[in-house]
């Protein structure tokens, strides 16, 4: 819990410009429709640049060719990235076939990118194809409402449906929470799906939960089933930790205030673990979800966006004050937290058999990038599986893909396809399967260093280090993010790299394997070669001095290499 309790409930001062944009947007419409028909620019202008985010899109350009285009006096080649809303990451094979086709025909990168929040992104959709994209998705039951912007984002849920009944219940809650917290404006249908105009219906828009100005900042929610922490609760504003009795869900512990982003040089920003507020019964779930969201809506910092997330609200007003307000709004008191334990975090790659006798195959997808290239035709392989698969598919929060609910008689054929297209590869090390990077270059406008394109080769070097020290089958949770926003969740890794500039990273150490500890800065602004040398030396010390089954992250703290981050606001920057 925070040690910084000062009960200024509302931050006074001139509001951030995003507040004006939201307030003047007519419930997120802006002038997006006018911009769509403007042929002069390939991008969106003024406020619409921000507003399209609430509809699940970001304006981008290819940074690899930006300088060259500028030399030719051309505007950047604007396009959009779309992020779909897929609560719990569940997608049917027929939906997959449709998105696979769209990626081929209408995106400049021809790929489907699985994200760290259990959904997929299209990169490189040009303006003339944007409406077609939304209409194609709508025709298969997918939308991209509120996957970006100051709203509750895609709701995550533990991926592997191995305990089928419990997973089904948890997944249904993820879906219900997502629907409950979704913006109610009809702007999305009106702008992208040619839905009826609000003036014609005579029914005005209303946002009973989010309000006309929506939330102060992005908001992230999960439903997690211990002992797996595959969705990384501490990266999220609001978590419902499933508490079960004899395989039946009976309620949730509610964890609030996690988040990983920071800004270099601004010590008022930091990654923070979520606090456990207590246990609630199932029947109260939606009320508590709304109460946490509305408390953050009313108390979150609307003056400074850098300090606007729930984690900062908790540290500013005090966790107990926040908790009491949530109880006041629901009229229900939290009960004492029920015991639970996280014992794992990564996905279990390969086959598992569920308690319903169905088989689930988790495919490791490096950095979530599904594409055909010279080494492997992963995209074709997934398509071939989707063409015959009778169950469903699940995108994981570790950027992998589960082919779920496979009957015994279909197992061999699916395995055969996965092997043929490189989706199962016995040569992949545990280290590779427990390494992850954010997108970064060329599409991310905020990237300071490479991440996705950097990771594969660096992991090969890491494998070399483990091999040299005689532990080729072990792994250290390793993550890279191209800037301090932390999309690859390096701030929950045992070894985390955070991009500072071309081939320059900050090296953080000391997260733990189950993702309940924030790592600490060890070396600032170092090259990848220097980082590798440091890791080589530290792994040598770990192997020589570790206690029985002591993880690398635990070792570096016990050995005094870095100090432990117990309370972020106090320890992270000291
Ligand atoms: Fe993220 C912004 C990609 C998960 C914290 N993130 C971005 C943008 C949209 C850049 C931008 O604002 O223009 C990136 C687009 C890159 C691209 O070309 O695709 C981007 N974030 C991603 C994804 C695709 C990374 C990935 O490799 O999978 C993840 C998409 C998740 C999804 O499906 O919704 C992604 N982003 C995360 C996570 C991890 C998580 O949520 O588990 C975090 C850290 C957790 C947290 O929120 O604290 C994260 N992204 C950010 C931030 C910093 C927010 C903050 O609190 O300050 C930004 C920048 C911002 O919001 O201003 C950002
Ligand atoms: Fe882009 Fe930074 Fe997020 Fe990586 S961490 S995707 S570089 S915003």
Phi, psi of 505 (to 5 degrees): -140, 155
* pLDDT for res 6: 56
**Torsion, Cα of 127, 129, 133, 134 (10° steps):** 50
194-198, 292-296, 362-366, 538-542: segment of lowest average pLDDT = 194-198
- For CA atoms 94, 96, 97, 103, give the dihedral sign: positive
80-129 confidence digits (pLDDT tens): 999 999 999 999 999 999 999 999 999 999 999 999 999 999 999 999 99
Element (H, E) at 422: none
Under 8 Å CB-to-CB from 180, ≥6 apart: which residues? 209, 286, 289, 290
* CA atoms lying within 13 Å on the CB side of residue 7: 6
What's the whole-number mean pLDDT along residues 402-421?
A: 97
Q: For the beta carbon of residue 562, count every other beta carbon within 10 angstroms.
A: 17
176-232 confidence digits (pLDDT tens): 999 999 999 999 999 999 877 766 777 889 999 999 999 999 999 999 999 999 999
Is residue 447 within 6 Å of ligand 1 at its C-beta? no
Edge-to-edge strand order for the sheet containing 275-281?
Answer: 156-157, 221-224, 238-245, 248-256, 275-281
Is residue 313 within 6 Å of ligand 1 at its C-beta? no
- For CA atoms 501, 506, 507, 508, give the dihedral sign: negative
Q: Tell me if 232 sits within 8 A of 515, measured CB to CB.
A: yes
Binned at pLDDT 50, 70 and 90, residue 7 comes out as low
- For CA atoms 177, 486, 306, 323, give the dihedral sign: positive
Active-site annotation holds for 157: no
Active-site annotation holds for 444: yes
Binned at pLDDT 50, 70 and 90, residue 556 comes out as very high
Under 8 Å CB-to-CB from 424, ≥6 apart: which residues? 350, 363, 415, 418
- Count, in order, helices (H) and strands (E) of the chain: 19, 20
- For CA atoms 189, 192, 195, 196, give the dihedral sign: positive
**Torsion, Cα of 382, 108, 66, 446 (10° steps):** -40
Is residue 235 within 6 Å of ligand 1 at its C-beta? yes
Nearest CA to ligand 1 atom 55: 261
Nearest CA to ligand 2 atom 2: 483
Is residue 272 within 6 Å of ligand 1 at its C-beta? no
418-453 confidence digits (pLDDT tens): 999 999 999 999 999 999 999 999 999 999 999 999
Task: Say if residue 3's pLDDT is above 70.
Answer: no
Cis peptide before 68 (omega within 30 of 0): no
Higher pLDDT, 41 or 478: 478
Nearest CA to ligand 1 atom 8: 444
Rounded to 5 degrees, what angle do the CA atoms 216, 220, 221 make? 130
* CA atoms lying within 13 Å on the CB side of residue 418: 24
**Which of 29, 34, 17 is closest to 55 using CA atoms?**
29
Q: Which tokens in the block code for residue 362?
A: 């988790």
* Centroid of ligand 2 to alpha carbon of 312 (angstroms): 21
CA distance 214 to 55: 13
User: What's the pTM value of the predicted model, to 2 decimals?
Assistant: 0.97
Residues having CB within 6 Å of any atom of ligand 2: 438-440, 444, 446-447, 451, 481-483, 485-487
With 0-12 / 13-18 / 19 or more C-beta atoms within 10 angstroms meaning exposed / middle / buried, residue 432 is buried
CA distance 489 to 483: 11
**Which of 496, 524, 493, 490 is closest to 508 using CA atoms?**
496
Active-site annotation holds for 153: yes
Element (H, E) at 22: helix 17-23
Strand partners, 360: 352
Q: Tell me if 363 sits within 8 A of 402, measured CB to CB.
A: yes
* pLDDT for res 198: 65
**Which of 420, 443, 469, 419 is closest to 367 using CA atoms?**
443
What's the whole-number mean pLDDT along residues 258-278?
A: 98
Q: Which tokens in the block code for residue 482?
A: 């191209």
Active-site annotation holds for 66: no
SS3 157: strand
Region for 56 from its dihedrals, namely left if φ exceeds 0, alpha if ψ lies in -120 to 50, beta otherwise: left
How high does pLDDT run on average in the chain?
96
**Which of 181, 347, 342, 219 is closest to 276 using CA atoms?**
342
CA distance 484 to 30: 30
* Centroid of ligand 2 to alpha carbon of 44 (angstroms): 21
Q: Which tokens in the block code for residue 467?
A: 């091999």
Selected catalytic residue, list 22, 220, 297, 500 = 220
| Percent over 70 (pLDDT), the chain | 98
Q: Tell me if 284 sits within 8 A of 332, measured CB to CB.
A: yes
Ligand nearest to the CA of 115: 1
What's the whole-number mean pLDDT along residues 43-65?
A: 95
Q: In Å, what is the CA distance from 502 to each residue of 130, 442, 505, 506? A: 33, 13, 8, 12
Higher pLDDT, 38 or 436: 436
Under 8 Å CB-to-CB from 331, ≥6 apart: which residues? none
* pLDDT for res 1: 39
DSSP string, 330-372: HT-PPBPPPP----B-S---EEEE-TTS-EEEEEP-GGGEE-B
Under 8 Å CB-to-CB from 494, ≥6 apart: which residues? 476, 477, 478, 509, 510, 511, 512, 513, 519, 551, 552, 553, 556
* pLDDT for res 247: 87
Is residue 446 within 6 Å of ligand 1 at its C-beta? yes
Q: How do strand 504-509 and strand 520-526 relate by DSSP bridges?
A: antiparallel
Active-site annotation holds for 220: yes
167-185 confidence digits (pLDDT tens): 999 999 999 999 999 999 9
Active-site annotation holds for 353: no
């Amino acid at each position: 819990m925070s040690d910084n309790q000062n009960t200024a409930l509302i931050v006074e001062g001139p509001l951030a410009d995003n507040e004006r944009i939201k307030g003047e947007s007519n419930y997120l419409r802006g002038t997006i429709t006018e911009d769509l028909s403007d042929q002069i620019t390939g991008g969106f202008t003024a406020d619409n640049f921000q507003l399209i985010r609430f509809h699940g899109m970001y304006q981008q350009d290819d940074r690899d060719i930006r300088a060259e285009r500028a030399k030719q006096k051309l505007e950047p080649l604007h396009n959009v990235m779309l992020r779909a809303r897929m609560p719990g990451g569940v997608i049917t094979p027929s939906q997959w076939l449709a998105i696979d086709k769209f990626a081929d025909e209408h995106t400049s990168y021809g790929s489907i990118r699985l994200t760290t929040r259990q959904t997929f992104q299209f990169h490189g959709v040009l303006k003339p194809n944007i409406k077609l994209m939304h209409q194609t998705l709508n025709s298969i039951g997918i939308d991209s409402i509120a996957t970006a912007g100051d709203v509750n984002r895609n709701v995550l849920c533990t991926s592997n449906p191995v305990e089928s009944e419990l997973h089904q219940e948890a997944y249904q809650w993820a879906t219900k929470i997502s629907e409950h917290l979704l913006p109610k404006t009809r702007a999305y249908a009106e702008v992208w799906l040619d839905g009826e105009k609000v003036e014609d219906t005579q029914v005005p828009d209303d946002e009973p939960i989010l309000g006309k100005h929506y939330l102060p900042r992005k908001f992230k929610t999960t439903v997690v089933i211990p002992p797996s922490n595959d969705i990384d609760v501490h990266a999220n504003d609001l978590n419902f930790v499933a508490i079960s009795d004899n395989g039946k869900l009976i309620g949730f512990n509610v964890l609030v205030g996690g988040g990983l982003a920071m800004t270099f040089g601004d010590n008022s920003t930091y990654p923070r673990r979520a606090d456990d507020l207590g246990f609630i019964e199932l029947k109260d779930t939606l009320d508590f979800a709304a109460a946490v969201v509305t408390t953050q809506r009313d108390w979150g910092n609307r003056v400074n966006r850098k300090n606007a997330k729930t984690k900062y609200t908790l540290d500013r007003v005090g966790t107990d004050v926040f908790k009491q307000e949530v109880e006041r709004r629901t009229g229900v008191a939290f009960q004492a937290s029920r015991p639970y334990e996280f014992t794992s975090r990564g996905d279990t790659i390969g086959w598992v058999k569920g308690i319903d006798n169905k088989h689930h195959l988790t495919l490791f997808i490096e950095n979530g990038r599904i594409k055909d290239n010279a080494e492997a035709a992963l995209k074709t392989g997934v398509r071939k599986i989707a063409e015959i698969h009778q169950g469903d598919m699940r995108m994981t929060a570790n950027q992998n893909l589960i082919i779920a609910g496979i009957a015994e008689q279909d197992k061999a054929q699916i395995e055969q396809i996965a092997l043929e297209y490189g989706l199962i590869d016995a040569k992949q090390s545990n280290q590779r399967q427990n390494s992850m990077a954010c997108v970064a270059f060329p599409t991310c406008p905020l990237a300071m260093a490479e991440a996705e394109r950097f990771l594969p080769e660096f992991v090969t070097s890491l494998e070399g280090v483990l091999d040299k020290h005689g532990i080729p089958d072990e792994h250290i949770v390793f993550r890279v993010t191209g800037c301090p926003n932390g999309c690859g969740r390096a701030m929950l890794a045992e070894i985390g790299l955070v991009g500072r500039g071309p081939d320059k990273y900050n090296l953080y150490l000391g997260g733990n394997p189950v993702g309940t500890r924030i790592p600490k800065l060890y070396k600032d602004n170092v090259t990848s070669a220097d980082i590798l040398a440091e890791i080589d030396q530290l792994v040598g010390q770990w192997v020589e001095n570790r206690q029985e089954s002591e993880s690398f992250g635990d070792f570096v703290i016990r050995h005094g290499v870095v100090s432990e981050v117990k309370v972020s606001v106090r320890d992270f920057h000291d």
